Amino acid sequence: MNEILDNLYWIEELLPPGLEAIPKHGGMAYFMDQKMVLILVEERNGTNEHKGVVYPFEIWNGAIFPIEYKKQSAFFLKYSFLENHPANRDWLYIPANTDSFEEEVRQMIREINKHNPLLGTPVKFKAPPKEKTAEAKPKKKAAPKAVKTDKKRENKFLLAMVSKPKK
């Protein structure tokens, strides 16, 4: 099912049946109940730099757990091994090069299997483009701008009237 993942394929076997898997973010994203609950990424070049900041782990090689930023403190209390992913503040991350990677991932997969409501970020759908209908009202035309008159000519005329000798 998965050509993108080589070393992390075993994680997919731990997931509950019925999850949708879609290639996303350079790896595989897994969806449950209209929420993205897991992203598995394996990047071969092992970059650990993002926006000029160097991190002590490879940022695109491991398991990403999307959790809304407001709800992350509950997971940090229970799972101290989770890291904030530098690319997105709603992602918690377990780098694949940690010593206890397999056990840490198994603990988080248990949360997915329990259908923990705190886990996952809602899927954002793009709204379909609005179709223009013939019934739509045409836009009103803007009122024409007032034409500026030549003030020099007007002032000259008024001065001529004022300075005219009275009979």
Query: Domain limits of the chain?
Result: 9-122
Phi-psi label, residue 25: left if phi above 0, alpha if psi -120 to 50, beta otherwise: left
pLDDT for residue 80? 79
- pLDDT > 50? residue 2: no
Task: Report the range out of 8-12, 55-59, 93-97 with the highest average pLDDT.
Answer: 93-97
pLDDT in tens, 92-144: 888 888 888 888 888 888 888 888 888 888 887 666 666 666 566 667 777 77
**Cα distances (angstroms) measured from residue 8 to each of 25, 43, 101, 135:** 15, 11, 11, 55
Q: Which fold has domain 9-122?
A: Aspartate Aminotransferase, domain 1 (3.90.1150)
Distance in angstroms (rounded) separating the CA atoms of residues 93 and 40: 10
User: Does the pLDDT value for residue 30 go beyond 50?
Assistant: yes
Q: Exposed, middle or buried, 91 (CB in 10 Å: 0-12/13-18/19+)? A: buried
